[in-house]
Structure 1
């Protein structure tokens, strides 16, 4: 059976997939391993364990006689650099993107390059400390000059994994175009500060995300940032403008059909831009709604003495929704920034609700107030008429019905692609390994229609 192998590397789980020419997963192996610590005692990925796992996975492929593996690609979490010396050896920890960033160093950087607002706007990156991976390399230059001098190549994690297989040093546009502060979106090149600080010479040449390195007729892709990879099945399946709300701990609204530059107001409300593997900007808005939901259902569980996952049994009840709308006390509107912090539900008294079901509907209504604002930041003024929701909330009927009510002018679908990041990484290099046409059922969908009477007032 002809297949492509994909290494899909998350913070917790590392997975090896074999995907056949019809884009069905025919083999899967997963592993997680403990973190280690960097020189400051902060937790970080163990790059040596990860390297060994990649090599072991390659070895595993040779023991699968039922499969003819024609190609390989990679999707990994972003905002993480691997630092190599002239000999291609790892010479530093794989620093965690959640590592705290020195405020004084960050301030000095912004002051040097025109102020925070200007550089955030030009690089389409909110100020996120170590999550701006370009600032990780800048920090090494300023605080560990001897290490900086040793670094010959700085590879984002997807390209490091690709390098382990292909031996070729590459940079990929999806990794440098994701809140790194490295990329000047207006001029489609590295921002001037990258050259001025001597970073550009440590970044290998940009390699197209849909090209491959060929070794003995085996095709090796350059690897992709996972958020960009997960969007590819949707971009390949639909031509009409759409947005994807990717839900998990974060609910990220991705709009590949919005070319407007980010405004300072949008940057201040957690908007940013990604780049597709073809270099197109994807405007995105982030909301910490999955985390808020998790906290509040714990609170509901304690108050009503129910299992924590009891909400999974709750069906959408139009009567409860209509009642809550009709009896809602007119609350002062919140400003954009305040609206994105915590939901109103955190401040509500549970004694006001006579049942778990009513309280849960109110929780989703309050989250939807935030989601409506966050999604509108990147959809207003665009031709988008379809919303796809994947991840946890896509399986939640209360959320989906309320989303349809919040956007009555849109078609709303729960959509899912099994292992979307892995499938996306395979699709990016489709023409190099697969002669079959793309299947029409890559995305599974369920439509949620809204009762016009229930649309948000």
Structure 2
């Protein structure tokens, strides 16, 4: 197989792209906001609008010629479908606070961190909490559910008609999976949900050909295989599975920091550390924070390129952002965002925000026990201010992806041999200038006092 169509359904945006496995070039064909609908039973994603987008995007892909369809999606997302394949309930937006209303009951039944690698997270960030709330708030609708499908496997189901479960999606802080034993956690049997989850398949498994109706709507050849699909952060790991030990930052709305083959550390669930599962079924220590969301909020959506003068001014003035805008997540829970050294504007603000994100990323790498080079995929992969500060803060070589999100390539590589090393677009070494190293030390001291 050479050309793979990829559905990349992120929390903020949805894309359809084509990846050429021989050149590793990703071509984005279509993009749309993944908007949250605020009416109805609760805030939810518009699956039919997304389905129309998927079909139109695959029609563009079919015109270019593709050999298979793969899927990658954000985590903390599941879909309940009935016996006819329709939605039994709308797909909950994980930022809705409904699950918090039954938090005490859920705490009483969820397994501990030592059994699942899942910290207790707010809102619907634990899929188990989503299901627990939905079953109690909407019992009649929940009872109609034939399957609980993780989001990537829902889209595979829409394309192929085959229902499946998959470990990378089940293993991303859901409370539903035991990553060390490679099976469902005790929560699933305790709440009688075993029959709702279809057979476990590997991310790279072909579930079947596209349905005839999909072939007709898109122009994809009859028989085009549909892969089971993968959680987006773990898609970013696929090109680097042969490079362990290394740290991988998958950056988008979230910055997901994963340690492949790192040192053994005691994982601190209170600091947003968890265990993911990679495409080979292996547990992966992980730390995270809302890096992309915080960058967007700091910059008010106005992303600019800082000049050398901007970088110098921020370094010399020790202008620093303190964590964090989303204090319920990330490595410094409870700490509130603020500025030291004055509030910058324009390019200086972008420099300070990039440094802040890099220093938070370095903290996450340490918490996950990462060793070896650091690979940055996604939105931050071409941000040189970020890459330079990350290299300085970690004392390691940092490789940036440049263009491309990493998730699309990783999802496409499921159709090819796993474990083929990726070539970095940008390689950055630690700065030795005392202005840079001094900034790192000063930021860490300030956070400790903050």
What is the alpha-carbon distance in structure 1 between the residues aligned to residue 307 and residue 332 of structure 2? 28
Superposition pairs of residues 122-137 of structure 1, within 5 angstroms = 122-128=115-121, 129-137=123-131
Q: Deviations over 1:411-442 (max 9, x none)?
A: 2233346232111111012159xxxx96x665
- Structure 2: runs of 5+ lacking an equivalent: 210-221, 321-328, 442-450
What is the alpha-carbon distance in structure 2 between the residues aligned to residue 27 and residue 290 of structure 1? 20
- Please name the residue that 1:278 is paired with: 280
Superposition pairs of residues 112-191 of structure 1, within 5 angstroms = 112-113=109-110, 119-128=112-121, 129-191=123-185
What is the alpha-carbon distance in structure 2 between the residues aligned to residue 339 and residue 311 of structure 1? 28
TM-aligned CA distance change 1:18 to 1:415, over 3 Å: closer
Q: 1:73 aligns with which of 70, 75, 95?
A: 70
TM-aligned CA distance change 1:124 to 1:168, over 3 Å: same
Q: How many residues align?
A: 416
SS of equivalent residue, structure 1 residue 54: helix
- Please name the residue that 1:333 is paired with: none
What is the alpha-carbon distance in structure 1 between the residues aligned to residue 360 and residue 281 of structure 2? 30
TM-aligned CA distance change 1:38 to 1:278, over 3 Å: farther
SS of equivalent residue, structure 2 residue 98: coil
Superposition pairs of residues 437-448 of structure 1, within 5 angstroms = 442-448=423-429
What is the alpha-carbon distance in structure 1 between the residues aligned to residue 172 and residue 204 of structure 2? 18
More displaced stretch, 218-227 vs 49-58: 49-58
More displaced stretch, 249-258 vs 358-367: 358-367
Superposition pairs of residues 321-340 of structure 1, within 5 angstroms = 321=315, 323=316, 339=332
What is the alpha-carbon distance in structure 1 between the residues aligned to residue 146 and residue 175 of structure 2? 20
The answer to whether 1:11 aligns with 2:8 is no
- Structure 1: runs of 5+ lacking an equivalent: 299-306, 329-335
More displaced stretch, 76-85 vs 368-377: 368-377
What is the alpha-carbon distance in structure 2 between the residues aligned to residue 70 and residue 297 of structure 1? 40
Aligned Cα root-mean-square deviation (Å): 3.6
The answer to whether 1:243 aligns with 2:235 is no
More displaced stretch, 20-29 vs 158-167: 20-29
SS of equivalent residue, structure 2 residue 401: strand
For residue 159 of structure 1, report the CA deviation from its aligned partner.
Answer: 0.7
- Please name the residue that 1:303 is paired with: none
What is the alpha-carbon distance in structure 2 between the residues aligned to residue 60 and residue 398 of structure 1? 36
Greater radius of gyration (CA)? 1
What is the alpha-carbon distance in structure 2 between the residues aligned to residue 92 and residue 358 of structure 1? 46
- Please name the residue that 2:218 is paired with: none
For residue 59 of structure 1, report the CA deviation from its aligned partner.
Answer: 4.8
What is the alpha-carbon distance in structure 2 between the residues aligned to residue 195 and residue 226 of structure 1? 27
For residue 223 of structure 1, report the CA deviation from its aligned partner.
Answer: 1.3
Superposition pairs of residues 231-270 of structure 1, within 5 angstroms = 231-235=237-241, 238-258=242-262, 260=264, 263=267, 266-270=268-272
**Does the 8 A contact of 1:121 with 1:267 survive in 2?**
no
